Amino acid sequence: MSNTNASVERAAPVAQPQVRRAAADSKPAGRLIMNLGTSIVIKGDLIASEDLTIYGKMEGSVTLEGGHTLTIGRHAHIRAAIDAKAVVIQGTVTGNVTAREKVEIQTTGSVAGDVSSPRLAIADGASIKGKVHVQQS
């Protein structure tokens, strides 16, 4: 797989161009953020131990180990089972979503599948079609 549209940014302050710095600045120093671009198509299982943003298409499963956040970008189309500490959905997800801390479905986001998390936030305009299980902590 080529890294042409994938980028890794360090959230630590480093002399770099101001490309996507707003997202990086909100993360604690030293955390990696992996972005998978719009032309990326992944089929299979994706397992990571870092914050991850997917802008392209994914089929299979996504698992983020440890205390990491998965962000589904605005134009992403994901057909996968998702498991992470926190999940932010701006695009389209078809499949079950499990978060150990929080699921946030933003205005442009949609989920067709079951959602399981201790906390769930659904913005006005977002959609969800499936069962919702809010676990007691």
- pLDDT of 32 reads 59
User: Rounded to an integer, what distance in angstroms lies between the CA atom of residue 11 and that of residue 1?
Assistant: 24
pLDDT confidence bin for 136, thresholds 50/70/90: confident
**69-88 tens-digit pLDDT:** 999 999 999 999 999 999 99
HEC-encoded secondary structure of 54-84? ECCEEEEEEEECCCCEEEECCCCEEEEEEEE
pLDDT in tens, 97-107: 999 999 999 99
- Name the band, by pLDDT with cuts 50, 70 and 90, for residue 45: very high
Average pLDDT, the chain: 81
Answer positive or negative: Cα dihedral of 7, 11, 14, 16. Answer: positive
The arithmetic mean of pLDDT across residues 90-94, rounded, is 98
